[in-house]
Structure formats: C-alpha cells, structure tokens
Chain A
C-alpha cells in the first residue's frame, strides 16, 4: 500500500511540519517514507508545500504529480493542486480560509474550519494539526494510537505543554 499526500498552504502555517508528522509516523511503523518540501522563495512568506509518501514499497520518485490525498490550507493551493488529485482521491480543505467548494465530482472532499477551530481552542498555530487529525481519520494510513505515538516522539520532552496542545488539535480534527 502506498499513500501519496500533498500538503499545501502559506509559509508559516506549519505545512512542512504536518508532512513531517505523517512521514515520522510512517517511519516509526516501519514503512518507507519520503518528505519533499518546496524550498527557496516559497519559504520566505509565500506558498509552501510538501510531498509525503508512506509506502510498503521502496519509494522511487519522491515527487508526487498525481496525489491520492491533498490537504490545502489556502485558496491558491486548492487552485493549484485540485486537478492533480487522482479520481477517487480525497481533498481536505481548511474552510475558514478557503470559501469555495471543491469543483471536482470524482473525488471526495472534506471541509474543516480548522483555522477557526484552532482560534476558538486558543491554539491558533495548530490548525495544521487539526487537518492532520482529519486526514488520518478518513484514511487507513495510521491508527489514532500510531499517530499520537509519533507526535509524542517528535515533540521534545522539554516541551510537554506543546505536546498536549498538539494532541488536542489532532483530536479535534480526528473527531470532526
């Protein structure tokens, strides 16, 4: 089984970190993984995206041109990647920041007001983790335990408070 996901949004939304959480969880589960970020001008305040592959097979090309899964946290990213998703794929949209609906009828789309939810919960920087929570809920990539296990290992013990809010955000997305 191979899961190919593109995460995309603005620089500063934690797009690359979302991808890292998924790649990390894959690695802990003994899968082959790759995490390919956009870099350069995009890192300096523009759009950011990363391609994450989690697979039972060796990862050949780390570039994803036809993702099965797409997580978008701004309008330009939906515009850019919507048509690349394979038929039958899933698109996860932060509906606080993207007002338009997904225009494809051959994919499944999920609208999550992640940014609003994160603001309401007092963790405004963790809308990305809400999106990851929903992504994992709607796919068979990992179980809830595997996901939280990965995040626990990824957040350094010195930052226990951060871990708690990350898990809270994942949970909100997972249960949405």
Chain B
C-alpha cells in the first residue's frame, strides 16, 4: 500500500471507515469540519449513515443509540461542541456503550478561538461529564499516528465496552502529511452479545440503560466498571520515551506540542545539553511507568510543555512526586509555542549558556 498525502481530519475519517465505522453523527465546527465533510461524501457510497444532527447534543445521543445497537460509530467536534456532548458521553459511559469521540481542540474557554490548543486536557481525562467514569484518551502527534490510533480506538472501545476519545488539535486536523492505511480485517469482529439487535424471540432482551435507582445495584456496576478501568490501565498504556535515562532535563509533551518540543530538544543537543522527552500517547490511562523508569538513576528536572496554562502538569507532578523538580512552559489561547521559546526554558533549567 503506497502513501497518500492527506489532511489530518480527512485521514482520520478514512481510517474510521476502514476500521468498520459505518455510522457517523456530527455537527460542523472549525477546525474539525473536514471530518464531517469527508463522511458526508463517503458514507452514502458505502452503505453507511452520515447524519448532520440539529446540534451536538442530538449527535452524541444518536451515537449512544447506534452504539447500543452494537455498530461501530463515531462523532467528532471541537472544544465548545465537545462541551455540549458531555451529558451524552456520561450516559454512554454509564451504559457501557463503545464509541469513538474525536476532539480537534481549539482555544477556549467559551467559544474561544479556532487556533490549536490543548486546554481540554482536564475535560478529557478528568471526567467532563458527571459520575465515576473515564474516557480512554488517545493523543496522536502525526497524521500517520492519528490514522493508526483511530483503528485502535474502535478496538479498545469494543474490548472494554467504553467510549474512547481521540484528542488532536487544530494543527493536526488541518495539516497534510503522507499516510499509509494498514488495512485491518474488520469482517469478523467479535459479536456483541449485549447489544440491542432484536431478540428474534430466541433470547432474553438486552437493555441499554444508565438509570439505576437501587443504590446497591448502581454501586456494584460502578465498581465493576472500575475493575475494567484497572484492566485498561494495565494493558493499554502507551507512550514514547527518547533519551530519558541520561537526560538532565526531561521534556513532557503530547500531540503537536511534542513535535515542537522535539525540535527544541534537537537544538539543545547541538549545544551539548542532555535532554530527553516523554510523550504520553494515552492521556488516560496516563503513562506513570514512563516516569518511574526516568526517575531511576541520576537527578533530573522535568519540563512539561503544553498549549494550555498547565493541565497535564498535574499528572506529571503526580507521577514524579517529590523525587524531582517539575517545571512548566505553555502558551494558550491558540498560540503554538516556538522551538526557541522551549529551548530558552531548557537552557534556563539545564544551566548552560
């Protein structure tokens, strides 16, 4: 399979289709609209459903319905639209329905702006909607990785019966890079015995529901779900760690920001500084083990770089504890940090000229 040059949003949509997604419900918003546009063009040709809902709230509840019927389903939006979807996401988590939710993050809060940001980290990883639940949150840093993770997102959702979020940002959505689609065989996916597919008068009916008025029953379900989260945390953690062991300064960055951090890292190395990077790929479950590995051996400082005023840094601090200093550099509101800004901060921490 040869490479094609594709825009992030379109590549993501194509990857979803190849992963067997035949149902997409969305509502347009910059900088994510090309996902919807691509689905609108493609779905009718392959017997799928594309529906532009009357609102984000409607779209996420259509996802809830389709997911409950056991099909692979996706919705996508950008920050303000994802806020609108939170109620539905909580219901979906509470009903153990798999689905994929894409957030191509833009500056906030409120309507904010349309330029790239990472200021939805808290919302994505710490809840967003109400109740004891988690989303699995995947954060690609290139178009190729976005394509690969889209396929994984559907598999993870089906395996653990949970909603999965792919979190990109305006830059990943809009930029073009060469991608290769690795065709997975989705013709024989495991049967979803819990789905509402019709009993055929042969089995007891399945019910998709998140309302449990009996407290003991609800507690039991929530605790069972926590066990599944523990399984996810055990099996699905992903990260990239480069030159961490010998580093004086370890950068921590995800998505677009990690690429800029890598440029800064290369420049710092040219100056003789010892710099490494930890790039979380799963934001939830957070890759705590990467930090345990990094903390073995010599003293080092951590520098968390984000397109926010500091959100992931809370998890970094949790991971590092009192074993090392944790510093921060961030730009927000749609401003993307430059390699030079990050380099200056590295130099400040690294003690070199």
Give the interface of A toward B (CB within 8 A). Answer: 20, 23-24, 27, 32-37, 39-40, 59-63, 65
Considering the complex, give the chain B residue whose CB is closest to the CB of A33: B178
Residues in chain B near residue A39, CB distance under 8 A: 30-31, 114, 170, 174
Contact in complex: A34, B175 (CB < 8 Å): yes
Contact in complex: B5, A65 (CB < 8 Å): no
Considering the complex, give the chain A residue whose CB is closest to the CB of B30: A40
Contact in complex: A36, B171 (CB < 8 Å): yes
Is B339 at the interface (CB under 8 A from chain A)?
Answer: yes
From B44-52, B94-102, B260-268, give the one contacting chain A.
B260-268
Residues in chain B near residue A36, CB distance under 8 A: 171, 174-176
Considering the complex, give the chain B residue whose CB is closest to the CB of A57: B266
| A128 CB → nearest B CB, Å | 17
Residue from the list A27, A37, A59, A62 in contact with B5, Cβ < 8 A: A27
Contact in complex: A60, B259 (CB < 8 Å): yes
Give the interface of B toward A (CB within 8 A). Answer: 3, 5, 30-31, 114-115, 170-171, 174-178, 259-260, 262-263, 266, 336, 338-340
Main secondary structure on B side of the interface with A: mixed
Residues in chain B near residue A59, CB distance under 8 A: 177, 259
Contact in complex: B5, A63 (CB < 8 Å): no
Considering the complex, give the chain A residue whose CB is closest to the CB of B106: A40
**Interchain CA distance A59-B178 in the complex, whole Å:** 11
Contact in complex: A60, B31 (CB < 8 Å): no
Residues in chain A near residue B262, CB distance under 8 A: 60-61
| B31 CB → nearest A CB, Å | 6
| B160 CB → nearest A CB, Å | 32
Residue from the list A27, A37, A40, A65 in contact with B175, Cβ < 8 A: A37
Contact in complex: A33, B171 (CB < 8 Å): no
Q: List 11 A-B contacts (CB under 8 A).
A: A20-B176, A24-B5, A36-B174, A36-B175, A39-B30, A39-B174, A40-B30, A40-B115, A59-B259, A60-B262, A63-B336
Given known contacts A27-B5, A40-B31, A40-B114, is B175 in contact with A61 (CB within 8 Å)? Answer: no
| A79 CB → nearest B CB, Å | 20
Residue from the list A23, A40, A60, A63 in contact with B338, Cβ < 8 A: A63
Contact in complex: B260, A60 (CB < 8 Å): yes
Residues in chain A near residue B339, CB distance under 8 A: 61, 65
Residue from the list A27, A61, A62 in contact with B3, Cβ < 8 A: A27
**Interchain CA distance A39-B340 in the complex, whole Å:** 24
**Interchain CA distance A37-B30 in the complex, whole Å:** 14
**Interchain CA distance A33-B4 in the complex, whole Å:** 11
- Per CB-CB distance, the 9 closest pairs between chain A and chain B, nearest first, are A35-B176, A61-B263, A60-B263, A60-B262, A61-B260, A36-B175, A27-B178, A40-B114, A39-B174
| B147 CB → nearest A CB, Å | 15
**Interchain CA distance A24-B259 in the complex, whole Å:** 21
Considering the complex, give the chain B residue whose CB is closest to the CB of A43: B30
**Interchain CA distance A58-B178 in the complex, whole Å:** 12
**Interchain CA distance A14-B105 in the complex, whole Å:** 27
Given known contacts A40-B31, A65-B338, is B175 in contact with A60 (CB within 8 Å)? Answer: no
**Interchain CA distance A103-B99 in the complex, whole Å:** 56
Residues in chain B near residue A32, CB distance under 8 A: 178
**Interchain CA distance A20-B5 in the complex, whole Å:** 9
Not counting A34-B175, A34-B177, A63-B338, a sample of 12 additional A-B residue pairs whose C-beta atoms are within 8 angstroms of each other reads A20-B176, A23-B5, A23-B176, A33-B178, A34-B176, A36-B171, A36-B176, A37-B174, A39-B30, A39-B174, A60-B262, A62-B259
